[in-house]
Amino acid sequence: MTRTIHAVHQVSRPQGAPTAENFAFVTEELAPLAEGTALVENLYFSVDPYMRQAMDEGPVAEGHWALDAPLEGRSLGRVIESRTPALAVGEIVGHRKAWRTHAVVTPDETRRIPDLAGVPLSAHLSAFGGTGLTAWVGLTRIARLQPGESIFVSAAAGGVGSAAGQLAKLIGAGRVIGSAGSPAKVKLATERLGYDVAFDYHDGPVMEQLRAAAPDGLDAYLDNVGGDHLEAAIERLRENGRIAWSGAIAQYNSTEAPAAPRNLFEVNLKALRMEGFLVRQHMDALPELYEFLAPHLASGRVVPEETVVEGFDRSVEAFLGLFRGENTGKMLVKVAD
Amino acid sequence: MTRTIHAVHQVSRPQGAPTAENFAFVTEELAPLAEGTALVENLYFSVDPYMRQAMDEGPVAEGHWALDAPLEGRSLGRVIESRTPALAVGEIVGHRKAWRTHAVVTPDETRRIPDLAGVPLSAHLSAFGGTGLTAWVGLTRIARLQPGESIFVSAAAGGVGSAAGQLAKLIGAGRVIGSAGSPAKVKLATERLGYDVAFDYHDGPVMEQLRAAAPDGLDAYLDNVGGDHLEAAIERLRENGRIAWSGAIAQYNSTEAPAAPRNLFEVNLKALRMEGFLVRQHMDALPELYEFLAPHLASGRVVPEETVVEGFDRSVEAFLGLFRGENTGKMLVKVAD
């Protein structure tokens, strides 16, 4: 059994956009397994926009990464050695010890991955992972999207957006409008991700493009970018509209205070609800999502949109690609078969 | 019976702060009452910050005022002549035909004012009027304030704020913090309006003063001013904090886009909920407020804070005084006994 593992550490803090120099690949020799632990071979892990914030200086207890130390992230792995009856060799588990080829875990640090017929393993990091659950919670619990209502989703071809378009349609939404950062992503959004209409935010001011796409206004907005998208959505939302704010990738690399929407006072005038949410506070929604979505995944009606980068040595490249818009859907690193 | 009535019309649109020149006092001769209507002698009406927005150009259907025409506002009057069995002479009714000494109304345009033992008539425009109901809805339905929680209220000595401090304490709030615009108002807030601590926003940056007043953070914020107060509140709110946004008097006279809080992204990071609301959508909360508050008003434990300007000829002066901070509590015009 291997005792030499590979890992990525963060070795410096970025100013603005992260670079490869902020990371280092390291090897480590594992001590023999302690009683009550198991060794997991990682198969997949996800790289996510929120990790940009973790790279900044800040308390580890609040999710910031320490330098020269193991990093966190959502992972799927197979138990290959065990000194606890709670984890059997061969079992597939989810855990948070990513950015490494192998991880030593206790049972408490893992969650069981249900074997859902016809659902591919990687879906547990995409459609059933943090991004899919974010889309589900944002649509159902925060925006409380009702059949027939119209919704705008920014970053429509991204991890959350690719799940949100398809879920919104399954919920029975009326007009589903998306924005994305390239013609290919716009095409993907309308052809495969459930969007009725989408636009490329490079083609002109978001405000103007959203006015054209939603001439009758909006009931809800699922925000993954902030900035000009948020301002345009506020303008288009009807009285009692809802904004579910799950992320702001446009701002993560900013070293200045982000531009706030100049029309924020319309939240008051139109009785809008703008609600941020943290998916970790909504883990109890996962069984609902399994029940709602698994049959559609198994039947092929819904396809989890994933960009899978193969090979642990490309982990940093995969992460940096997120900020250059190189992914469609969820960005995953495939570590082993 | 008088047939000559006095009224105030708006005759021009303000640029920035309104002035006396935007208004004119007019007299009018009434035609004989039509079948199905009644003549009401107005006793009180309220002048409110939201009226500044009504003065701007815009659709009458959305509450904007037409020039050279009767104006709206919350009023209390006595029926003095009636050609409908639904309105008896001598009855006290609430209606929206303010800024005039008398009004011709249909039964549909009026609401019955309950005779609550020990509650003064003017309270139906203050503690039980739009401002008191705004405070109640903001605290209970929007901020969902729980016993023991801490809350910040801006414009603590204003119409909404004077009701909110007392209501928050009755609900069982922990620390209730207010801001106001003069030493006298700060004193009033802590001595009579339920606030545990208050500060004068002229004494230094709101951010610093709120940090000192709420060193352990906040659970909720009832916003009546926007701007720097909103930014400071966002900084102080704990995870899952709530912002109930009922008004933004600081911005009504602005001819530029208002400054948005630079830390708005914390709504996402801390899973805050920022919710605007329109009290007209919550009129069904009024019976709750009667039940909750009437005994306290009757016993004198709660005193509705009102600034009563006597005499119809001082109506415009009363309204303009709102924007110079001349009121404590609800600003009312007393038209007749």
Category of A16 on φ-ψ map: left (φ > 0), alpha (ψ -120 to 50) or beta: left
The Cα of B328 is separated from the nearest Cα of chain A by a number of Å equal to 23
Which of A263, A275, A282, A283 is the best substitution to test chain B (most B C-beta atoms within 10 A)?
A275
Rounded CA separation B17/A179 (Å): 40
ipTM: 0.85
Q: What is the per-residue pLDDT for A258? A: 56
The Cα of B215 is separated from the nearest Cα of chain A by a number of Å equal to 19
Q: What is the per-residue pLDDT for A252? A: 52
Residues from chain B contacting residue A281 (CB–CB below 8 Å): 240, 271
A174: pLDDT strictly greater than 90 = yes
Rounded CA separation B197/B212 (Å): 10
B204: pLDDT strictly greater than 50 = yes
Q: What is the per-residue pLDDT for B226? A: 82
Q: What is the per-residue pLDDT for A246? A: 84
Q: Summarize the confidence of residues A182-205 as an average pLDDT.
A: 96
The band of B225, judged by pLDDT with boundaries at 50, 70 and 90, is confident
Give backbone dihedrals phi and psi of A248, rounded to 5 degrees, phi first.
-150, 65
Residues from chain A contacting residue B223 (CB–CB below 8 Å): 268
Cross-chain Cβ contact B268/A262 below 8 Å: no
Nearest CB neighbour to B247, from listed A257, A268, A272: A268
Q: Summarize the confidence of residues A34-59 as an average pLDDT.
A: 94
Strands B38-46 and B23-29 turn out to be unpaired
Nearest CB neighbour to B271, from listed A258, A264, A277: A277
State the first-to-last Cα distance of chain B, in angstroms, to the nearest integer: 17
Residues from chain A contacting residue B269 (CB–CB below 8 Å): 53, 276
Q: Summarize the confidence of residues B78-85 as an average pLDDT.
A: 97
The band of B92, judged by pLDDT with boundaries at 50, 70 and 90, is very high
Taking the Cβ of residue A78 and every Cβ of chain B, the question of whether any pair is shorter than 8 Å is answered with no
Q: For the CA atoms of B23, B25, B30, B36, what is the dihedral angle to 10 degrees?
A: 40
The Cα of A37 is separated from the nearest Cα of chain B by a number of Å equal to 33
Which residues face A332 on adjacent strands? A46, A308
Which of B274, B278, B280, B281 is the best substitution to test chain A (most A C-beta atoms within 10 A)?
B274
User: Pick from A267, A257, A233, A264: which is nearest to B257 by CA?
Assistant: A264
Which residues face B172 on adjacent strands? none
B89: pLDDT strictly greater than 80 = yes
Domain ranges of chain A: 4-126+305-334, 130-280
Q: What is the per-residue pLDDT for A100? A: 97
Residue B320: how many other CB atoms lie within 10 Å: 17
B37: pLDDT strictly greater than 90 = yes
Share of chain A above pLDDT 70, in %: 96
Q: What is the CATH architecture of A4-126+305-334?
A: Alpha-Beta Complex (3.90)
Residues from chain B contacting residue A257 (CB–CB below 8 Å): 262-263
Cross-chain Cβ contact A239/B270 below 8 Å: no
Residues from chain B contacting residue A265 (CB–CB below 8 Å): 226, 248, 251, 258
A249: pLDDT strictly greater than 80 = no
Considering only B31-40, B125-134, B205-214, B252-261, which range has the smallest mean pLDDT? B252-261
Cross-chain Cβ contact B276/A270 below 8 Å: yes
Q: What is the per-residue pLDDT for A331? A: 94
A253: pLDDT strictly greater than 90 = no
Cross-chain Cβ contact A248/B268 below 8 Å: yes
Q: Summarize the confidence of residues B159-186 as an average pLDDT.
A: 95
Stated as kind and residue range, the H or E segment containing A319 is helix A315-322
Q: What is the per-residue pLDDT for A27? A: 96
State the first-to-last Cα distance of chain A, in angstroms, to the nearest integer: 17
Share of chain B above pLDDT 90, in %: 80
Average per-residue pLDDT in chain B? Answer: 93
Category of A68 on φ-ψ map: left (φ > 0), alpha (ψ -120 to 50) or beta: left
Rounded CA separation A62/A155 (Å): 26
The Cα of A68 is separated from the nearest Cα of chain B by a number of Å equal to 25
The Cα of B251 is separated from the nearest Cα of chain A by a number of Å equal to 9
Q: What is the per-residue pLDDT for A227? A: 85
Residues B218, B237 contacting (CB under 8 angstroms): yes
The band of B321, judged by pLDDT with boundaries at 50, 70 and 90, is very high
A256: pLDDT strictly greater than 70 = no
Q: Which CATH superfamily is B130-280 part of?
A: NAD(P)-binding Rossmann-like Domain (3.40.50.720)
Rounded CA separation B110/B103 (Å): 11
Exposure string for A32-47, b = 16+ CB within 10 A, e = fewer: eeeeebbbbbbbbbbb
Residues A12, A65 contacting (CB under 8 angstroms): no
Q: What is the per-residue pLDDT for B117? A: 85
For residue A289, give every residue at least 6 positions away whose Cβ sits within 8 Å of its Cβ, in sequence order, or none: A128, A132, A133, A136
Rounded CA separation A330/A47 (Å): 8
Cross-chain Cβ contact B260/A260 below 8 Å: yes
Average per-residue pLDDT in chain A? Answer: 93
Residues from chain B contacting residue A266 (CB–CB below 8 Å): 276
The reply to whether B4-126+305-334 and B130-280 are identical in fold is: no
Q: What is the per-residue pLDDT for A327? A: 87
Share of chain A above pLDDT 90, in %: 80
Q: Summarize the confidence of residues B53-58 as an average pLDDT.
A: 94
User: Pick from A263, A235, A229: which is nearest to A247 by CA?
Assistant: A229
Q: Which amino acid does the sequence have at A76?
A: L
Q: What is the pLDDT of residues A130-171, one digit of tens each?
A: 889 999 999 999 999 999 999 999 999 988 999 999 999 999
* Closest chain B residue to the Cα of A278, Cα to Cα: B271
Nearest CB neighbour to A278, from listed B53, B257, B271: B271
A250: pLDDT strictly greater than 60 = no
- Within 259-288 of A, beta carbons closer than 8 Å to B belong to 260-278, 281
Residues from chain B contacting residue A275 (CB–CB below 8 Å): 267, 271-275
Rounded CA separation B71/B93 (Å): 18
Residue A240: how many other CB atoms lie within 10 Å: 15
Q: What is the pLDDT of residues B236-294, one digit of tens each?
A: 999 999 999 986 554 455 555 556 788 888 998 899 999 999 988 999 999 999 999 99
Nearest CB neighbour to A276, from listed B260, B262, B269: B269
For residue A175, give every residue at least 6 positions away whose Cβ sits within 8 Å of its Cβ, in sequence order, or none: A150, A151, A196, A197, A214
Counted residue by residue, chain A has a size of 337
